[in-house]
Structures are given as C-alpha cells and as structure tokens.
Amino acid sequence: MSRRLKTFKLRIDKKLKKSDMKNYLSAFSLPKSGNREVLLTRLREYSRDPEKWASMFRANPGRKRGSISARKATKSRDAQRLLDEFGPQESEVGAYKAKKSGVEVRPEATGLSEETVRGNSAWATEVLAGLHTEAPRQAGQGSSEETRGQEAEQVPAAVGSAETPNKITGIRRIEHQVIRMDKAFSTEFALVKSELCRINAHLSEALHVAAVQAHSPTGNPSESADRIFTELPSPTTVSRGQPHRTATATPLPVQPPRSARSALSAQTNALPHIFRPPPRVLAQHEIPADKLALLDIDGDVLAFDKTSVPVPPSLSFSDVSKLFRDWYTSTDLVVNGRGIPIRHWKRLYMMVGGWKAIKAQWSRFQFLVQERELFASEDAFWAKYSHEDGRRYNYQRIVDTLQRARVRTNHHDASAALFFFHNDLTQDRALNYFKYVRSSEVIYCEKPAIVAERWRRLLIDHPDIAVQWEAVRDDFEAQYDPSSQPS
C-alpha cells in the first residue's frame, strides 16, 4: 500500500464475544454471518492481506467525502481521523465566491500559443483558397437542395468584394453538410444499436430456455435450436431519407443450416459479439470445496457453486394455475443448468443466504398451494374460489380469503387449548408445549396463532391427550362463541 496505516492487536480469548467480532467485521465492510469460527477465520484472513485494507477508504457507491471543517473535526473522531490520514480537503480552483463577500475570483483564460495560432491561420487560408477555385464546379454538380441553400444564404454583391460572398457561402454549405451527415449517422447508429439490443435479448432468452431443456429429462436440444432460429426477429431496414419508425419483429419461416443447429445444440458461442452463451454446467468435482453445496430435489442431488446462485426472481402470479404448476416444476430460477421448483427455494436460499428477502412472498405461495392440495382436483378448488358467474378469484382475493379463514381457525383452536387447560397453560399437563426461553427468561405463549399451532402439535404428538380432548370437545363447542373472534 502507498500509505502506512495504524494497526492494533486483537486478543482472541473467551472475553471476545461474537457481537464484538461482528462489530469489527461491520467496520471493515465484511460479511457478518456465520458462527464464531467463521468470524475468526474471516478476521484472520483480512488481517493477513493489507491490500484489502484500502476498501475502508473507498466511498460507498454514489457517495463521496464531504468537506470537513476544523470545528467539526473537534467534535467527531471519524472526522479527525480523516484529516489525519488525508489532510484537509483542497479548495476547488476557479470557484465563484458568494455575492456577499464583494469579491469574486474568475477562472483565468489560457490563450493559444503562437505556434497554434499560425497553424490554424495557415489551415484556414488553404481551405478558403480551395473552396474559391472549386466553387463553380460544385455549384453545377450540387443537388437541388444544396442549390436552394446557396440561394438562401447568398450575401448581396454590394457588400464587400466579389470574393467574400463565395467564401462565406462555401463555409456555410460545408457546415450544413456536416450537420446533415451527423444527424444521418446518429439515426443510423441508433437503429443499428436498437436492432442489436433486440436480437441480443431474444437470443439470450431463447438460449436460456434451450439450456434448461437440454438438461431436463425430456429436453431435446435439436428441437430447441430449431425453434430459436425460426423465431429470430427479422432485421428492420429504414432508408436514410425516411423518418425513424418503430422496429417490429416477425418470425422467419425458413430453417437454419444444419451446421448452425448443431452448433447451437452443442451450446457454442455462435455470436460472441452480440450475446453471451448460457453458463456451462459444472460437475461436482469441478466446483471448489469451499463453494460446493448440495441440494436434494425430489431425490436428485444437485451440486452447485454457492456463489453462482442468482438473486431470487420477482414473481407475480396473475395466473394462479401457473403457481400450482411452478410449485413442482419451474424454470424461473436456474442453478447450474437445473430449474429449481418454487417449493425448494426456501432450502436453497437458507443455504446460500437471501431467504429473508423472499420469506413473506414464498410463505403466501405455500399457503395457497396447501389450500389447493386439500381438494381432489383443481376444478374442485376453483368451484369454491370463483364468483357466481363462474369468474375465478384473482390471486390477492384468494390469499385474503385464506388469511381470514386462518385467523378464525387459530382463534378457535387457541380457545380450545385454554378451555382444556382451564385457562392455565403453565400447568404440568401442558408438557411445556406453550413455553419458550428468550434471553434466559421463561415466556409463555399468548398470541392466538402460536397457541393454536402448538395445541395442534400437542394433539398429534400425544394421542392420550387427544383422546381426553375428544371427551370434552362437545362441551367446548356448545359454549364457544364464534362472534367473539376478530373480524
């Protein structure tokens, strides 16, 4: 490193708590997840590599160091540390002072050197001389548009000599030609860029689907290659004289050459300058041991690199039936060439991190699928969750209906637990099912949702208690008031 930094020694013993290590890692912008051994290893590796220390002095993306006054430095340790390491911030050159000061400092203008002035003058003289000699020939060969431009831009002969109007007209004509060429080039370049972006997006999506199907049990790479090539968007041609129009894509009815289909089915980089091919599927022995993770998907073990798992995709199911299908088979998330069904996302992202980001949405998906599995068929499910005219409920209405039903069920089961234990969940007969410990403090469940969940688990785990409950269940139902539950 270019500068010598102040260091300190961190003593590792029983007094060094996990929270202290997380504070150090946070100060060094390092990950804070993991157990004690992982945190210690991370700190040791960081201390052995001084090249990584420079990251402490980089500003966050979109941020920059602000100005620090001497008064502010006396009140902040961080500000004083920045001044000690980097010194005071340099004032900008040429900045205008406030009007109240009465004095302003304007930036100094630097003139051209004598040599540059002489070179520019010589070049201008040569250009004007060449235009003067070629003016008659250009006037005869120019287009009607250029002729009209000359007539509109002619200077009356009475002003100045006869040579001056020709020079002015020639220079202006060149300016207009340059402007027209620049506009035409910009238009053509925008069209080419638009076409390339459109083709890139289309091919990337098609190759992604082809890669997934190639590694699926029923995938056929050659059929995927045929479909990709036959659905390529046709190039849009716009003449230079026509205004720019929106490009439209139409499928090509022709089949590609066999060599192209075989190249695509082998997942080679057919167009390296336009798109990137799908990532290569790695075998288990090709993945580093510290990055290797295994996920059981319906009996098949998937080996993958934990650092290559993409961020959780954002899903929106206006078609609820598609959710029922994607819960068991989906290509919305592909890891090492394998599509991951939605029901396995929880275990995947709990393994690699990112579970909190999708927990709420994934739980709603599971909630809805569990309700669907209570019915013998999908038609039976829609028979309940549809309007009188046959229109199906949308996703949000089904979720809201299920949540209201769950609240009612939890209130009923929580009331049943209190009735069975005579409003005392702390007694020994409850077998500590309604007790948990937090920060060395014993706490008993109070929320109806938690009490109901543990009551149902207690009845499943202990059949003898379930028999006792059935004996008094009718008494509970007779005195239970459904109107007392929350709306």
Q: Answer for the pair 306, 351: CB distance below 8 angstroms, yes or no.
A: yes
Tell me what pLDDT residue 183 has.
79
Q: Answer for the pair 180, 191: CB distance below 8 angstroms, yes or no.
A: no
Higher model confidence: residue 234 or residue 170?
170
Residue 329: pLDDT band by 50, 70, 90 thresholds? very high
Place of tokens 């638009």: 194
297-323 pLDDT tens trace: 988 999 999 998 998 888 888 889 999
Burial 173-185 (b: 16+ CB within 10 A, else e): beeeeeeeeeeee
Q: Where are the domains of the chain?
A: 1-57, 160-278, 311-383, 394-484
Q: Could you tell me which of 328, 288, 323, 320 has the C-alpha nearest to residue 304?
A: 288
Higher model confidence: residue 73 or residue 61?
73
**Which segments of 44-122 are extended strands (E)?**
none
Question: What is the Cα–Cα distance from 428 to 432, expressed in whole angstroms?
Answer: 7
- Non-local CB neighbours of 7 within 8 Å, separated by 6+ positions: none
144-154 pLDDT tens trace: 444 444 444 44
Residue 101: pLDDT band by 50, 70, 90 thresholds? low
Tell me what pLDDT residue 245 has.
42
pLDDT over 80 (residue 45): yes
Assigned token pair, 75: 């009140």
> CA torsion angle for 14, 18, 19, 25 (degrees, to 10)?
120
Higher model confidence: residue 209 or residue 420?
420
Q: Answer for the pair 323, 343: CB distance below 8 angstroms, yes or no.
A: no
- Mean residue pLDDT of the chain comes to 75
Range 471-476 average pLDDT: 92
Q: Could you tell me which of 445, 401, 453 has the C-alpha nearest to residue 425?
A: 445
- What values do phi and psi take at 215, rounded to 5? -105, 5
Assigned token pair, 77: 């340790």
- Non-local CB neighbours of 398 within 8 Å, separated by 6+ positions: 320, 368, 371, 385
Residue 71: pLDDT band by 50, 70, 90 thresholds? confident
Q: Could you tell me which of 155, 146, 131 has the C-alpha nearest to residue 176?
A: 146
Sort 330 into a burial class: Cβ within 10 Å, 0-12 / 13-18 / 19+. Answer: buried
Length of the chain in terms of residues written: 487
342-363 pLDDT tens trace: 999 999 999 998 899 899 999 9
Other residues' Cβ atoms within 10 Å of the Cβ of residue 410: 21
- What values do phi and psi take at 319, rounded to 5? -100, 100
Q: Which pairs from 249-252 meet CB under 8 Å and 24+ separation?
A: 249/198, 249/202
CA contacts within 13 A on the Cβ side of 365: 25
Q: Answer for the pair 172, 196: CB distance below 8 angstroms, yes or no.
A: no
- Residue by residue, DSSP assigns 336-386 as TTEEPPGGGHHHHHHHHS-HHHHHHHHHHHHHHHHHHTTSSSHHHHHHHSB
Please report, for residues 12, 18, 20, 30, 287, the alpha-carbon distance to residue 34 in angstroms, rounded to integers and kept in the order given.
Answer: 17, 10, 14, 12, 21
Burial 365-392 (b: 16+ CB within 10 A, else e): beebbebbeeeeeeeebbeebeeeeeee
Crossing angle of helices 395-420 and 463-479, rounded to 10°: 100
Query: Percent of the chain at pLDDT above 90?
Result: 31
Sort 210 into a burial class: Cβ within 10 Å, 0-12 / 13-18 / 19+. Answer: buried
Crossing angle of helices 163-214 and 114-141, rounded to 10°: 90
Question: What is the Cα–Cα distance from 324 to 302, expressed in whole angstroms?
Answer: 23
User: Measured on CA atoms in the order 106, 112, 114, 120, is the torsion positive or negative?
Assistant: negative
Range 271-295 average pLDDT: 76
- Non-local CB neighbours of 316 within 8 Å, separated by 6+ positions: none
Question: What is the Cα–Cα distance from 74 to 83, expressed in whole angstroms?
Answer: 11
- Paired sense of beta strands 338-339 and 292-297, if any: unpaired
191-229 pLDDT tens trace: 777 778 777 776 766 666 665 555 554 445 444 444 444
Q: Could you tell me which of 244, 225, 122, 256 has the C-alpha nearest to residue 183?
A: 244
DSSP state of 157: T
